Structure 1
Amino acid sequence: MPDNEPASGDDRADSTGRQALRADCGNCFGLCCVALTLTRSADFAVNKDAGKPCRNLQDDFRCGIHTRLRTEGFPGCTVYDCFGAGQKVSQETYGGKDWRRAPETAQQMFQVFPVVRQLHELLWYLTEAAGLAPARSLRGEIRRTLEATEELTRLDAGAFAGLDVAAHRDEVAALLARTSALVRATAPGRKKRNHRGADLIGARLKGADLRGADLRGAFLIAADLGGADLRLADLIGADFRDAELSGADLTGALFLTQAQLNAARGNGATRLPASLGRPAHWEK
């Protein structure tokens, strides 16, 4: 993870086939530290324009305050995840030629990176979807979409400018929604709750039974989900900033990402999917 606090077990073998979708900062040219805009806020201590290197970026493309990001006022960096797009763009799209040695590539590279990052995020979800048994009737369609998305990430650098990534995201989102419905239908209990896009900021959901709930895009900022049962809940795009997950059960939760966990608070009793790690800043 780029400048994220390391999650325990992050170097484990990935049985889901998503290892290439994990950030490898050692093979990236610090793209997230240059290409993106930073806005001074609780997440970032400074303003920084897109295309301008962060003041903490070193000559070797590493972060000079990586171990102190939270205390130095950059918690937003610890929750960012490029899903492996950084090394894809650095080593494959641009053949290992960095923007410092080849400044003529810089502007284009910084525009390509966010596009590939979006595609890699879709690959993360699609790879998970392909392995969900209740959605086996969609497996062929999922795999074709997965392959098509992977092909898009391998376009020549100049071709990304004409790519309608938003339209592709919409197509993938519809397929993932169908996948989610099939999987969530297997959750036990009463009719599954629909909280899609709901404003649950600060909600008191401690110990709630949210098995199979649709929480796609829900705002769960600072919500208390301590001890909640989120098995088979669809969490794609849910905002978990400062949400309390201590003791919550997230095993089998759908489309959860490491970035979402890094944005939340939890402890050693929080149960996680095998493919994700426990953030270092969580309580033991």
Structure 2
Amino acid sequence: MTPPVPAADAPADRRRELRADCSACAGLCCVLPAFAASADFAIDKPAGRACVHLTPDAHCGIHADLRQRGFPGCTVFDCFGAGQRLVQVAAVERPVADPGVAAAFPVLRQLHELLWYLTEAAGLPLPAPLRAEVADLTGRTEALAAGGPAALAAVDAAAVRAGAGELLGRVSAAARPGGRDRRDADLVGAVLRGADLRRHGLRGAYLIGADLRGADLRGADLLGADLRGADLRGADLTGALFLTRPQVAAARGDGATRLPAALERPAHWGAAAPVRTRRPRRPGGRGGAAGR
């Protein structure tokens, strides 16, 4: 049996390229998608029409108050850096509804999201053959993402993601040996407060509105899990696999929620609480609360 290859540090520069940078974009996500008045958006907006809050210089006029103004859906959207990349490739200088750009944008976003997962996978302790498969798929996905608008529009993104899903499933199994598989589980509104979910396979699980306060999700696979409205206050997601910013932003957390190092804490969660170190128990003593 081939021994696992030690984990490598995830390329920080690559992760930065896979984060949305609105300052380098042209408001594509404020023009191209459609959205309907709902709990996520305060108004209707057809596809290809600029949002009424988009300024002439391609900035959001209410960015600092999106949630308060009824646009929480905007705060959880992430193009994974596809916007700024497409703007550079297509030389877009202002918000436009160009059909070619409109067709390419969702494809490139999916490819960038896949690259986010593959970059994470490359940093896990995997057997050499599996690591080679990850590297090969990363190269092929990078090549697709490097195409122009016409080439991107012709990519069957669903097929690419389907093939990648099988590989990432094997990566997950190798990275969390002994973990329970609860893939696609219906856990809507489930009371899982304080639950031990370490290394659980929660890929595609429906955790909408679930009570996960204080739950231990270390090393759990959360690829595609629906965390909308899930209560993650005090939960520990350290080392959780394939978690993304949109998933985190759609959930409810607090200063005590612990996240993987690659993810920023959503502003509406509040500041992170200081990490307390446990005091060693005294010989023969019962120990205090910190030692339990």
Question: Structure 1 residue 76: deviation in Å?
Answer: 0.4
Question: Structure 1 residue 166: deviation in Å?
Answer: 1.0
- Which residue in the other structure is 2:150 paired with? 158
- Which residue in the other structure is 2:7 paired with? none
1:168 matches 2:160 = yes
Q: Work out the CA distance in 2 between the residues paired with 1:130 and 1:260.
A: 21
Matches within 5 A, 1:255-266: 255-266=242-253
Q: Contact conserved, 2:233 with 2:252, CA < 8 A, in 1?
A: yes
SS at match of 1:17: helix
1:42 to 19, 39, 42: 39
When residues 16 and 60 of structure 1 are mapped into structure 2, their CA distance, relative to the original with a 3 A threshold, is closer
- Which residue in the other structure is 2:279 paired with? none
TM-score (norm 1): 0.88
- Which residue in the other structure is 2:290 paired with? none
Point out where structure 1 has 5 or more consecutive residues left out of the alignment. Answer: 1-12, 186-190
- Which residue in the other structure is 1:97 paired with? 92
- Which residue in the other structure is 1:33 paired with? 30
Question: Structure 1 residue 98: deviation in Å?
Answer: 2.7
- Which residue in the other structure is 1:9 paired with? none
1:224 matches 2:211 = yes
Q: Contact conserved, 2:211 with 2:232, CA < 8 A, in 1?
A: yes
Q: Contact conserved, 1:37 with 1:49, CA < 8 A, in 2?
A: yes
2:254 to 245, 267, 271: 267
- Structure 1 runs of 4+ off > 4 angstroms? none
- Which residue in the other structure is 2:277 paired with? none
TM-score (norm 2): 0.86
- Which residue in the other structure is 1:6 paired with? none
Q: Work out the CA distance in 2 between the residues paired with 1:16 and 1:217.
A: 28
Between 1 and 2, higher relative CO (CA 8 Å, sep ≥ 6) is seen in 1
SS at match of 1:114: helix
1:181 to 173, 178, 192: 173
Matches within 5 A, 1:227-246: 227-246=214-233
Question: Structure 1 residue 161: deviation in Å?
Answer: 2.7
1:207 matches 2:231 = no
- Which residue in the other structure is 1:142 paired with? 134
Aligned-partner residue type, residue 33 of structure 1: C
Question: Structure 1 residue 47: deviation in Å?
Answer: 1.4
Q: Contact conserved, 1:16 with 1:275, CA < 8 A, in 2?
A: no
Q: Work out the CA distance in 2 between the residues paired with 1:137 and 1:159.
A: 31
Aligned-partner residue type, residue 81 of structure 1: D
Q: Contact conserved, 2:58 with 2:94, CA < 8 A, in 1?
A: no
Aligned-partner residue type, residue 218 of structure 1: A
1:195 to 182, 185, 194: 182
Aligned-partner residue type, residue 97 of structure 1: V
Aligned-partner residue type, residue 235 of structure 2: A
Q: Contact conserved, 1:128 with 1:255, CA < 8 A, in 2?
A: yes
Aligned-partner residue type, residue 172 of structure 1: A
Aligned-partner residue type, residue 166 of structure 2: A
1:23 matches 2:5 = no
Question: Structure 1 residue 156: deviation in Å?
Answer: 2.2
When residues 73 and 29 of structure 1 are mapped into structure 2, their CA distance, relative to the original with a 3 A threshold, is same
SS at match of 2:268: coil
Question: Structure 1 residue 149: deviation in Å?
Answer: 0.5
Q: Contact conserved, 2:213 with 2:233, CA < 8 A, in 1?
A: yes
Aligned-partner residue type, residue 86 of structure 1: G
Point out where structure 2 has 5 or more consecutive residues left out of the alignment. Answer: 1-9, 272-292
SS at match of 1:18: helix
Question: Structure 1 residue 16: deviation in Å?
Answer: 7.2
Q: Work out the CA distance in 1 between the residues paired with 2:67 and 2:59.
A: 16
